[in-house]
């Protein structure tokens, strides 16, 4: 079965900490994505990557960066966590064709205190 794995289900971090959210897929997908999900706002795209070492900003990139050194791994980095980054973070991957949309990870619920 195809898998997108997010390293942590729940995280609690302090304001100002550097936070790494890791995502690994085993489907050899070219495209990987990071979304954040907030009540009433749906899913909003933070960053995506269409190839190793390539990245593009989504709709809400401020306060975030990403890294994709290997095809299977896409990391989301909060350089200095703030309380307004408390949210559910979802990673996804897709093939180039995109017919079936995405395969999602199970999400990381991040709380910044």
In the set 34, 64, 74, 102, which binds other proteins (CB under 8 A)? 102
Of 33 and 81, nearer to other proteins (C-beta) is 33
C-beta of residue 25 within 8 angstroms of C-beta of residue 41:
no
Handedness of CA 26, 31, 34, 38 (dihedral sign): negative
Of 3 and 18, nearer to other proteins (C-beta) is 3
Strand 4-6: give its sheet, edge to edge: 4-6, 19-25, 73-78, 64-70
Of 50 and 72, nearer to other proteins (C-beta) is 50
Residue 5's alpha-carbon distances to 40, 65, 74, in angstroms, are 26, 19, 11
Smallest distance from other proteins to CB 88, Å: 7
Answer yes or no whether residue 33 interacts with other proteins by CB under 8 A.
yes
Binding site for other proteins (CB under 8 A): 30-31, 33, 35, 40-45, 48, 50, 56, 58, 88, 90, 92, 94-107, 109
């Amino acid at each position: 079965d195809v898998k997108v794995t997010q390293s942590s289900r729940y995280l609690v971090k302090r304001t100002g900490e550097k936070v790494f959210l890791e995502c690994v897929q085993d489907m050899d997908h070219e495209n990987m994505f990071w979304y954040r999900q907030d009540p009433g706002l749906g899913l909003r795209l933070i960053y995506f990557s269409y190839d190793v070492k390539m990245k593009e900003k989504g709709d809400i990139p401020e306060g975030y960066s990403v890294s994709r050194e290997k095809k299977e791994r896409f990391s989301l980095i909060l350089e200095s966590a703030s309380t307004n980054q408390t949210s559910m973070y979802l990673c996804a991957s897709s093939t180039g064709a995109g017919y079936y949309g995405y395969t999602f990870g199970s999400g990381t619920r991040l709380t910044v205190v």
